[in-house]
Amino acid sequence: MNTSGKTPLMQAKNLEKILNVGEIYLKLEGANPSHHKYDRIAEVMVRDCLAKGGKELLLDGAYDYIQAVLCYAGRTNLKVVIPVFKGEHWKETSFNDEHLISFPEKKSEKAQSLEDYAKKHGVYNASNGYHNRNLSLISLQKIGEEIVDRLGEEISTVFTQLSYGYTVSALHNGFMDKWVSGDLKSMPKIFSCTIPKGNYIFDDYRRTHSLPDLENYKIKVNKYTRDLFTGDSFLLEETLHAIGDTQGHLLSIDEALLKESVQLLKKQENLILSAEEGYAFAGFYQMAKSGELERGRHVIILNDGRSDLIIERITDFCKYTKEELAAFIEEWLQDYKDPIIETMDAVEHASKGGFILLAHRNGVPQGISLVVNTGFENFIPTYHLGYIATKEGNKGRGIATALISEMLELSKGNLSLHVDIKNKRAKHLYEKLGFKSKYYRMIHSPY
């Protein structure tokens, strides 16, 4: 079972009131185990290495990418080697010496050096780059599919951050697949946002094109792109094609706008987000402020964005008594609540072999989940979700998803649940997170 992906798509209701452009959704890729979109690629890389009988990974890329791969490699017996080229002192201060090896070549010769080392020593090259393009695209394509699965066929725009261009091409593939299958009415416009200078795809594009026009572009392979990474000129072509095909644009974001937009996002939606990963929202904010966005359904992919919720496992019942926890469940479930005597019975059983999780923000409880231990190992799943509920006003904010993700981690996926036949929203959420309907549960009524 994959532990990455299926990240929350949170409706930004506070921003909707301020910007008045329709519905706004935030894809929180920071909800992945190592808090970044790169987890999707990292998990697949590690699985691919193991499938091929590999025992060692050669790992190069951005800090977040290396951290993501280390996270998944750490769950196996894979050895990880991180090359340090001249001028890359940040690696020496960021990672353990046991992983580092010095490379005498210049950074401009990096791609070939990594390839040569991998072949010579028989290690799996998990470095982020063109040679892993297919695995990267397939992994990130899931982001687009998850967006359509949640929102349905009507999506107006999608904003993402431009780096190597993988996400743009992958989104295009994912949306195209959903369009072909009939799940998407029309292709959403893709907007890719980046710094004014320093991103080589953007810089190379500006050499021969005026912004934001993307019509009738021609890709010009030059020394600049070739030196950075073999084959990246092809990736540039795919990236620009994906944007142009959806009538989207490349957007340049200056530092002042980036800071302003990230502060607004954090304040209004209570998110944790690094400034360097805020370009996608900054691009959206720029267009919304200037009146360039029509009312519709807009999605912003935040590479490391996540809720500031804290998920706490309740064990001692000092801060919150069992009666208080049962009262949370009864109040927040509303129409789906059970008699309090049944809820208290579940709380008692969850405290003995199961677990109770409480989600809170700034010390204020926002959601709760309660899992009981069935006592079985093989007959039925060992753990069963008794209750999950969120405080009123939290609909669409990813709290239930965060609680379920933590439950799956604690139960190692050995978990069942019941869902009311009429509760279609809950059923859709559970299916999205990997649950399947195996049978109908029928209860005898003595009345």
- Specify whether 247 is located in the same domain as 332: no
Question: pLDDT digit string (tens) for 3-20?
Answer: 888 888 989 989 999 999
* Domain-ending residue, one of 103, 130, 157: 130
Residue 439 placed within a domain: no
Residue 447 placed within a domain: no
- Specify whether 184 is located in the same domain as 284: yes
Q: Which residue carries 């069942």 as its tokens?
A: 416
Residue 366 placed within a domain: yes
Residue 368 placed within a domain: yes
CA-based nearest residue to 359, from 370, 367, 351? 367
- Specify whether 200 is located in the same domain as 93: no
- Specify whether 28 is located in the same domain as 47: no
Question: pLDDT digit string (tens) for 225-251?
Answer: 333 333 445 556 777 777 878 888 888
- Specify whether 158 is located in the same domain as 265: yes
How much is the mean pLDDT over the chain?
A: 85
Question: pLDDT digit string (tens) for 426-445?
Answer: 887 778 778 888 877 777 77
* Domain-ending residue, one of 75, 99, 130: 130
* Domain-ending residue, one of 306, 323, 341: 306
How many angstroms from the chain centroid is the CA of residue 405? Answer: 13
- Specify whether 177 is located in the same domain as 296: yes
- Specify whether 140 is located in the same domain as 244: yes
Question: pLDDT digit string (tens) for 257-276?
Answer: 999 999 999 999 989 999 99
Residue 440 placed within a domain: no
Confidence of residue 1 (pLDDT cuts 50, 70, 90): low
| Host H or E run for residue 57 | strand 56-58
Domain of 400, CATH number, reads: 3.40.630.30
* Side-chain-facing half-sphere of 353: CA atoms under 13 Å: 10
Residue 437 placed within a domain: no
Beta-bridge partner residues of 369 = 357, 388
Confidence of residue 422 (pLDDT cuts 50, 70, 90): confident
- Specify whether 106 is located in the same domain as 171: no
> What domain range is 94 assigned to?
38-130
Residue 23 placed within a domain: yes
Give me the number of domains the chain comprises. 3
- Specify whether 318 is located in the same domain as 251: no
Mean pLDDT of 183-207: 72
- Specify whether 153 is located in the same domain as 63: no
- Specify whether 137 is located in the same domain as 266: yes
- Specify whether 19 is located in the same domain as 162: yes
* Side-chain-facing half-sphere of 336: CA atoms under 13 Å: 18
CB 155 within 8 A of CB 148: yes
The DSSP annotation for 101-160 comes to EE--S-GGGHHHHHHHHHHHHT-EE--SSGGGHHHHHHHHHHHHHHHHHHH-S---EEEE
Residue 203 has pLDDT above 60, yes or no: no
Domain of 61, CATH number, reads: 3.40.50.1100
Q: What is the pTM of this model?
A: 0.76
Residue 443 placed within a domain: no
